[in-house]
Amino acid sequence: MVGGLGTYAENICPALVSQGHDVSVFTMNDGTLKTRETLKGIDVNRPMLVDGGGILPLCMTEDLRRWGTGIKFFNDVLIYNILSTTKFVNQLIKKEGYKFDIISAHDWLSAMAGIMAKRETGLPFVFHLHSTEWGRALNGGSQTVMHIEKTSAEVADGIITVSYPMQEDLIRHGFSSDKIKVCWNGIPVSKYDPNKLLKEDSAGLRSRYGISSEERMILFVGRLTGVKGVVNLVKAMPTIISKHPEVKLVILGKGELERSISDLINVLKIGDRVKTRFEFVPEKERIAHYGACDLFVAPSLYEPFGIIALEAMAMEKPMVVGARGTSGFRDFVIPSGPDQTGIHVDGNNSADIAWGINSLLEDLGGAKEMGKRGRIRVEQYFTWDKIAARTIGIYEDVITGG
Ligand code: NHF
């Protein structure tokens, strides 16, 4: 599990199974996992990879050469796609007699398997786009990966993406608008339930970070990478602290920016107000963090959907979210009016982030109400059962050509 895509897979598969469907999953093997097992009624396949590191450079383009040591990852993805398709076609279908109705592949990571599996079997193929290369790299990125994304979208019979801003962005980049359907992500609402949280756990967590009950805890959870806007959040802190000295920010997550964040905190001399924990904590502990905080902030510069914010919203937290550019937050964080659940800011602009956080801190009663409305919204639209049912509806349309 390294992020939203894993959370999606972990939740959608059981939801599909509970609605009476059979699901076979192909996923990567880190070398320690079983190559096949049944988990929660799901047929899980993890072909064991071989190291093709020495082979790939022989036939590589300039673009891939620029990946440097990252080429090991590209190599693993390629081999995983080939092995998965081989096992799917030769073992599951030809040998074991499985009869599939549809193939789905998710992001460029499994797009090549989707293309090959469709060509081999003639089955309908839906390509799910949870993010794009140009978005993740903020308009840079690898030509090879973009080519894989585009080709997969062309070969696919249907495309599902995770938010309306993503749909617009794909169309803007020349993806066929008739093929694209939006299906949001969901939340296991009974697990993310503020009423199930023990007060001692929240209090314990706050005291771990040295946050008293009079102080306000702001929480950031996520990968510590450029697009998540976390550096701009740290830069916003002096302005926030000058108006609200009772504030402490907790940054929870891992990533390549750990060092820069620590350095910035030192330079700004705000170490007593910003607590970092560079870990990927288990889900139970993440839920306790949501429960313990007063407000949640996700100032992303690019966010196709943003499951993490939905998790915090299910835990009744008011939100400050980056909503400029391609941001799925716009689909579920309501920024004004009687249904307001949070505030939209420009994640590129520290002053705007500070403004958003300060506005919530100035009216904590109002912010609490936003949190409550957020939970209601999650229950109404974002349960995995609803998301699975919509996914199946789209798959059925693709199968019947409707
Ligand atoms: O929530 C699952 C996740 C999204 O915004 C997230 C992302 C990758 O960037 O759909 O996929």
Q: Could you report the per-residue pLDDT of 387-400, keeping only the tens digit for each? A: 999 999 999 999 99
pTM of the model: 0.94
> Does residue 122 surpass a pLDDT of 80?
yes
> Does residue 53 surpass a pLDDT of 90?
no
* Pocket flag, ligand 1, residue 304 (CB < 6 Å): yes
* Pocket flag, ligand 1, residue 299 (CB < 6 Å): no
* Pocket flag, ligand 1, residue 162 (CB < 6 Å): yes
Q: Give residue 61's pLDDT.
A: 85
Q: Which residue is closest in CA terms to ligand 1's atom 3?
A: 4
Of 3.40.50.2000, 3.30.365.10, 2.40.10.10, 3.40.50.9100, which CATH number belongs to 3-186+384-400?
3.40.50.2000
Question: Mind listing the pLDDT tens digit for each residue in 17-31?
Answer: 999 999 999 999 999
Q: Do 343 and 360 meet the contact criterion of CB atoms below 8 Å apart?
A: yes
Q: Which residues pair with 42 in a beta bridge?
A: 39
Mean pLDDT of 198-217: 92
CA 184–ligand 1 middle distance (angstroms)? 10
Q: State the angle between helix axes of 143-155 and 107-121 in degrees (0 to 180), rounded to the nearest 10.
A: 40
Of the chain, the percentage scoring pLDDT greater than 90 comes to 90
Q: Which residues pair with 127 in a beta bridge?
A: 105, 159
pLDDT band at 385 (very low <50, low <70, confident <90, very high): very high
End-to-end CA distance of the chain: 35
CA 58–ligand 1 middle distance (angstroms)? 34
* Pocket flag, ligand 1, residue 303 (CB < 6 Å): yes
* Pocket flag, ligand 1, residue 8 (CB < 6 Å): yes
> Does residue 94 surpass a pLDDT of 80?
yes
Of 3.30.450.40, 3.40.50.800, 1.10.3720.10, 3.40.50.2000, which CATH number belongs to 194-381?
3.40.50.2000
Q: Give residue 52's pLDDT.
A: 81
* Pocket flag, ligand 1, residue 302 (CB < 6 Å): no
* Pocket flag, ligand 1, residue 307 (CB < 6 Å): yes
pLDDT band at 56 (very low <50, low <70, confident <90, very high): confident
Ligand 1 binding pocket mutation candidate from 5, 382, 387 (most atoms within 8 A of CB): 5
Q: Give residue 141's pLDDT.
A: 92
Question: Mind listing the pLDDT tens digit for each residue in 312-338?
Answer: 999 999 999 999 999 999 999 999 999
Q: What's the mean per-residue pLDDT of the chain?
A: 96
> Does residue 226 surpass a pLDDT of 80?
yes
Q: Which residue has the tokens 């398997």?
A: 113
* Pocket flag, ligand 1, residue 165 (CB < 6 Å): no
Q: Which residues contact 287 (CB under 8 A, 6 or more apart)?
A: 191, 192, 197, 311, 315
* Pocket flag, ligand 1, residue 4 (CB < 6 Å): yes
Beta strands in 201-340 (DSSP E): 216-221, 247-252, 274-277, 295-298, 319-322
Token reading at 314: 């299910």
Residue range(s) occupied by CATH 3.40.50.2000 in the chain: 3-186+384-400, 194-381
> Does residue 131 surpass a pLDDT of 80?
yes
CA 248–ligand 1 middle distance (angstroms)? 27
Atom of ligand 1 nearest to the CA of 308: 1
Atom of ligand 1 nearest to the CA of 307: 1
Mean pLDDT of 161-169: 98
261-299 exposure pattern, b = at least 16 Cβ within 10 A, e = fewer: bbebbeeeebeebbbbeeeeeeeeebbbbbbbbbbbbbb
> Does residue 296 surpass a pLDDT of 80?
yes
